[in-house]
Structure 1
Amino acid sequence: MPNAATSPLAIYIEHLERGELAYQFSPSANRAVFYPRVISPVTGAADLEWRVSAGLGTVHATTVVHPQQGKAYNVALVDMDEGFRLMSRVEEIPPTAVKIGMRVKFRVHAKEGDEPPYPVFTPAEGAQ
């Protein structure tokens, strides 16, 4: 695991490189924290702990982007079961098939060139 001087973003990316979706938990606020930070945005305490998500969530909101060049894609807000929300996209289905309330599971979109890895989602068949 990285040393204490490593930035929260670097730690988060290291988890993604291992295929994990990491988030922080603030004991003083008793809640999940995401995007990675140095202090709790609720209490200001520097008590954040790293945890690894089970990778299941629910689409909170979605839209389809139609760029002038290239294929349409979706952008989704996903509420993770651990209590944090992130913006991503749902892959492996047409962008218009992504629905609010849909259960999804995390996977890593691999690093490409200078672009770091990032989380994406696929439909979670049979997930409750």
Structure 2
Amino acid sequence: MATATALPSDYVQITTNPVTEPFWTAAREGRLVAPKCSACGHFRLPPTPYCPECQSTDVDWVELSGAATVYSFAVVHGFPGLPDVTLVPVVVDLPDAPGARLVSNIVDVDPEDVEIGQALTVDFHPITDGWMLPVFRLAPDEN
């Protein structure tokens, strides 16, 4: 079985705006952050211009530990132009940001070893233009 990987760096491009740039700037620095409403405390990912709970535009960016758990995942064998790539896209729960979920990839794992509820830890994969993409690995106690 092939080991799950991230897409090659030149296949991933991002566009930032004032709402998302703090997330990407932190990732470039090797930190995982989430926006938290300053008014009601609701976490929101992906970042939005206003809180979906109270509509406030006030936000604090909270640094997270990088711990996560698998909420859902898929296994993708092949990608256009990269038939030998195996990807494990994942939706993760972030215990430091209750209610927030992030879509990413699990890397360096046999896809058959991935399970719902499994503990993960964040890592960062280089992509175009010097940006870093948050990806996840099995937590050390899961290996």
Q: Shorter-chain TM-score category?
A: 0.7 to 0.9
Query: What is the rounded CA distance, in whole Å, between the counterparts of 1:71 and 1:110 in structure 2?
Result: 17
> Per-residue deviation at 1:52?
0.7
Query: What is the rounded CA distance, in whole Å, between the counterparts of 1:18 and 1:72 in structure 2?
Result: 27
> Deviations along 1:45-64, whole A, 9 cap, x unmatched?
01211111110011011110
**Higher relative contact order by CA 8 Å / sep ≥ 6: 1 or 2?**
2
SS at match of 1:96: helix
Work out whether residues 19 and 49 of structure 2, in 8 Å CA contact, stay in contact via their aligned partners in 1. yes
Query: What is the rounded CA distance, in whole Å, between the counterparts of 1:115 and 1:14 in structure 2?
Result: 10
Work out whether residues 55 and 105 of structure 1, in 8 Å CA contact, stay in contact via their aligned partners in 2. yes
Q: Which moved more, 1:88-97 or 1:101-110?
A: 88-97
> Per-residue deviation at 1:37?
2.2
Query: What is the rounded CA distance, in whole Å, between the counterparts of 2:25 and 2:111 in structure 1?
Result: 29
Tell me which residue corresponds to 2:137. 122
- Listed as ranges, the matches of 1:1-128 within 5 Å are 7-67=18-78, 69-82=83-96, 83=98, 84-111=100-127, 113-114=128-129, 116-126=131-141
| Structure 1 unmatched runs, 5+ | 1-5
> Deviations along 1:48-104, whole A, 9 cap, x unmatched?
111111100110111101226122221111001122111111111112221111100
Q: Which moved more, 1:102-111 or 1:30-39?
A: 30-39
> Per-residue deviation at 1:115?
7.3
Matched positions, count: 121
Please report the RMSD computed on the Cα atoms of aligned residues, expressed in angstroms: 1.9
Query: What is the rounded CA distance, in whole Å, between the counterparts of 2:111 and 2:32 in structure 1?
Result: 23
* Paired letter, 1:104: L
Tell me which residue corresponds to 2:11. none
| Structure 2 unmatched runs, 5+ | 1-16
Superposition TM-score, scaled by structure 2 size:
0.76
